[in-house]
Chains A and B, each alone.
Chain A
Amino acid sequence: MDVNIKSTRKQIVGKIPVNCTLSRPPLLEQPKAQQKTGIIFKYVRGKYNTYQYFLLFRNNKIILISAMDFRTLENENHPPLSSTPTEVPLPKYPIWTIEYFQKYFDVTSEDVIERIKGALVPTYGVNYLQRYIRAKPDVYGPFWICLTLVFSIAISGNVANYIQVAADHDYHWKYNFHAVSSAATAIFLYAWLLPLMLWAFVKYKEPQFNLSYLELLCLYGYSLSIFVPISILWVIQINWLQWLLVAAGTLVSGYVIVFSIMPSLGQKPFAFIFLITILHLFMGTGFMLYFFHVPPIQKS
């Protein structure tokens, strides 16, 4: 649980009258996954020597007090009536507010780095989805990884094009800004629309399919992160190296996707897996051929 107690204390002291001390740091280890519980900590108010229990959620935003669950005591000898955090539902926000969508962005920097690392270097026998994503899928990662990939492909595609042209001194090189829009279309279609269609299709064929669209989106988004370094390496104009990188990229991200989804596919997963693999291969080779393997431009 990585909440800074100092800042918490500051926030509370700002709201509550004098003579208050925070008696102890968080006393319970919380499972990282559960969003609905927070840290419980005790808050002693000096003047009347009463204390209350607070629930602090990870995002530092909501502090819930369930004072009535605990008896106010003169001394500390009696244990509190219940020391487990109460399950309190998060407040409901309507869909048009920012707060409604904040639950999809409730990750810390370490979470995101861990998830990217897991997708870049998959461990054999580890279900990526179960291990990293399932607890709390986020939208931050897929969105910014896709956007990074759009620009890394557009920029290094331009550099690759420059290198191809630079050998030919007659041609005046012009950069192609519009690679950005085609890369954006391709990548966002692949990472955002394909999971939706896949989810709908598998759900239709296998009603007991238990993954949500959000989880699939998160899986696809994070699995694309390997293509960011690869797209930079694609600049090197050596044919076999480019194809090797295609193979490596599709293998790693395909492995992450396929082995995460496979357990949920029921008895006959192979048709789906074949479909996923084909689409994935198509994506990897498509990127390389379209943006990096341009045939030499005609002299004008």
Chain B
Amino acid sequence: MDFLNTNTGQNNFNNPNGGHTTVYIDDRPMNNVEGRMTVSGSLMQNIGDPGFNTLDEPIKTTIMRDLKAVGMKFKHVLYLKEKNTLLKEWDLWGPLMLCTFMAMVLQASPDSVQIGDGGPEFAEVFVIIWIGSVIITLNSKLLGGTISFFQSVCVLGYCLLPIVIALIVCRFILIFEQTNFLFFIRFAISIGSFLWSTYASVVFLGDSQPQGKKALAVYPIFLFYFIMSWLVLSHTV
């Protein structure tokens, strides 16, 4: 009994009907990933040094460091080689940029309100993205996943990148006179970006789910990116 801190003595040990002890073991997986509140600093070699502080550095350096960190994460979403940067040092700058960009492009143009353009408002896109990722994260926590809240929100936000790229390409295609062929190209691009986003976020988040529940955690992610690429495809003005 050396590894368990039970409060029953040796006397009860041989008495079958005697002391009844229940012990809770903290059995969280050992490789539990955890988030940190640092500002993505490990890209700078010397940020961990004892004498290092960011107070007397130029603002440009600070901003560039954050931007570089965001850029690195974008790269990881597209390459899918290394998982830890995105998981360990979460930030919400990248998701904020992507989400604001999508909301700005997708919003219904005000002059077309009269003839009934039915696109979403800026706030609606914004809310769908944030509430959507919060609901997906809550869902995975409720299913017993081991990932921390903001890590998951961060990953879901960064994995919007392929869909944002698809949105830019579709926006470009929309400049030309629309034909069935161009619609087919936009359709293919939307589907491709949807699959890419889903695959990327499953790669990042898939390991955090308990056995037999992975599909339950992946389905909401699938639905979320499906809706986002539907918005991209439906955007025609």
Contact = CB atoms under 8 A, between A and B. Distances in A.
Interface stretch (B18-26, B59-67, B95-103): B18-26
A100 to B, nearest CB: 10
A63 B25 contact: yes
A52 to B, nearest CB: 9
Interface in B1-53: 1-4, 6, 8, 12-14, 16, 18-27, 29-30
B192 interface: no
Nearest to A20: B3
A3 interface: yes
B144 A61 contact: yes
Given A81-B16, A88-B22, A174 B236 contact: yes
A64 B22 contact: yes
Contact of B8 (A7, A17, A68, A151): A68
Contacts of A178: 118
A15 B25 CA distance: 9
Interface in A25-63: 59-63
Interface residues of A, number: 53
Contacts of A173: 236
A179 B112 CA distance: 18
B21 A68 contact: yes
B19 A64 contact: no
B211 A3 contact: yes
Interface in A81-114: 81, 88, 91, 98, 101-102, 104-105, 107-110, 112
Contacts of B84: none
Nearest to B138: A98
Given A61-B27, A65-B4, A155-B230, A104 B14 contact: no
Contacts of B12: 68
B223 A151 contact: yes
A63 B142 contact: no
Interface SS majority for chain B:
loop
Interface string A136-167: 00001000100110010001001000000000
A61 B211 CA distance: 11
A50 B117 CA distance: 74
Chain B interface size band reads: 35 or more
A296 to B, nearest CB: 14
A158 B234 contact: yes
Contacts of A62: 24, 27
B236 A71 contact: no
Given A72-B13, A91-B24, A109-B212, A175 B119 contact: yes
Contacts of A71: 14, 16
A176 B22 contact: no
A98 B234 contact: no
A40 to B, nearest CB: 14
A108 B139 CA distance: 13
A4 interface: yes
Nearest to B234: A175
Given A12-B27, A17-B2, A60-B144, A69 B20 contact: yes
Nearest to B23: A65
B136 to A, nearest CB: 10
A203 to B, nearest CB: 28
B223 A59 contact: no
A97 to B, nearest CB: 10
Given A72-B13, A108-B212, A112-B216, A66 B21 contact: yes
A72 B12 CA distance: 11
5 contacts: A15-B27, A61-B27, A81-B16, A175-B234, A177-B124
Q: Closest 7 A-B residue pairs measured CB to CB?
A: A176-B118, A109-B215, A108-B212, A105-B142, A175-B234, A177-B120, A14-B30
